[in-house]
Structure 1
């Protein structure tokens, strides 16, 4: 458990806010990916890479997640 997670656990309502933030960002990315053309998403690293974060959520929805090393 990192300091961020301890802080989220200690602050009332913070865990719900964090989960809602990740869900909203994921939904926005999915909506952009469904439109024709190219999309760019800007997401802070912690919500992007965290366990249960945006990349995990996109993967759970069936999107293929690759790292730069895999290309």
Structure 2
């Protein structure tokens, strides 16, 4: 009697491993996608952000003064 083992436990645990692996893969995909989008937003949004912050500063410079190197 002690030698009987249920095989259903092995089958369920292997399905859980496959599901866990697919969840991990999908999380990695979404993380990669999100980081790519964040990189693009940061790349194209940095200079306009600096210009907007400069335009709202206390002395109120003109746009030509912000864009000139001097």
Where on the TM-score scale, by shorter chain, does this alignment land: which range? 0.3 to 0.5
TM (normalized to structure 2)? 0.36
TM (normalized to structure 1)? 0.35
Which is greater in Rg?
2
Question: Greater helix share, 1 or 2?
Answer: 2
Larger RCO, structure (CA 8 Å, separation 6 or more): 1
